[in-house]
Chains A and B, each alone.
Chain A
């Protein structure tokens, strides 16, 4: 009797977890910008994997396997939100703005706002790119050295992060 109940519960948990996993995957693909995708990929995933692992735990006799599953679950339960937070923090600090929170003035601004991620490094050569002074450090520019009153820094004065601006021409052969 108890065994049947536990089995049914485990079925429900595993299937519910599987459903949530697929939902999270769809959200990961369909949502418009990084931050909403992170909700799908981070939050729903954590719940889904907890459900699946608890469902698996109910399938075995209590023992070493249960303990291992519990360890995996506890570990993922803490690390998955942590890495989601770290990702969101790194993305926000690098200047990637949420698409949905664009204020009218910001949305009407013609300049292209790029994230200083390494994918966006090519944008440094683009004169249309405008970089806010408070984000310059992410390009490797020292924030203190930049005049805060200057409307924008000339893009060609920015050193490329990850290498020096000075010896770059000397190394080209």
Chain B
């Protein structure tokens, strides 16, 4: 019975996606994509991917909505209508790629199958040998910080660099003082 919840959430996802396609008001689209993220997080929880759900909630529903709104404040609020021509070639490409992807899922093991390669190959080693080899009691931490430590360090460096770059680019406007009381809009002058 509880297996019904997942398909219902997926149906909601499709409905929201179609609504996003049809709407031309971009603010409404931003709101709906926040809803999409929330629903997606619910789907992730049902699939037992709790960490992904965490990320989806924080990034998808929280940060990206705010970032999108900040972007829309600087640009137009309505989407331009596309050209009235049936896009045959893109449709064919999408159908072909989608068909190949669906064909690819036929060979995947069922969710939670203990005989799946991912549970046979590396996971037992990490579970059994991880604390001995690395001395880290937590399984996830041992993989994250020891087995793939260089990878994690690189990731952190990339994110750190990106944050520094963004801060340097957008974080230092409004150096000069506004002359009048209407400084709110003048402050946007040097921001654009």
Contacts and interface: CB of A to CB of B under 8 A. Distances in A.
B78 A122 contact: yes
Interface in B41-95: 72-74, 77-78
B169 interface: no
A162 B74 CA distance: 6
B102 interface: no
Interface residues of A, number: 14
A171 B27 CA distance: 22
Contacts of B181: 142, 144
Contact of B27 (A119, A142, A144): A119
A145 B27 CA distance: 29
A135 B181 CA distance: 18
A89 interface: no
B192 A164 contact: yes
Given A118-B77, A121-B77, A162-B72, A140 B192 contact: no
Contact of B74 (A142, A144, A163): A163
A110 B189 CA distance: 38
Contacts, number: 29
A87 to B, nearest CB: 12
A119 B28 contact: yes
Contacts of B73: 162-163
A123 to B, nearest CB: 12
A167 B72 contact: no
Contact of A118 (B27, B182, B188, B192): B27
A159 interface: yes
B77 A159 contact: no
Interface string B172-183: 000000000110
Given A162-B72, A163-B74, A119 B188 contact: no
Interface in A94-129: 118-119, 121-122
Interface of A: 118-119, 121-122, 140, 142, 144-145, 159, 162-164, 167, 171
Interface of B: 25, 27-28, 72-74, 77-78, 181-182, 185, 188-189, 192
Closest 5 pairs (CB-CB, A-B): A162-B73, A118-B27, A142-B182, A118-B77, A121-B77
Given A118-B72, A163-B188, 18 more contacts: A118-B27, A118-B77, A119-B27, A119-B28, A121-B77, A122-B78, A142-B181, A142-B182, A142-B185, A144-B181, A162-B72, A162-B73, A163-B74, A163-B192, A164-B188, A167-B189, A167-B192, A171-B192
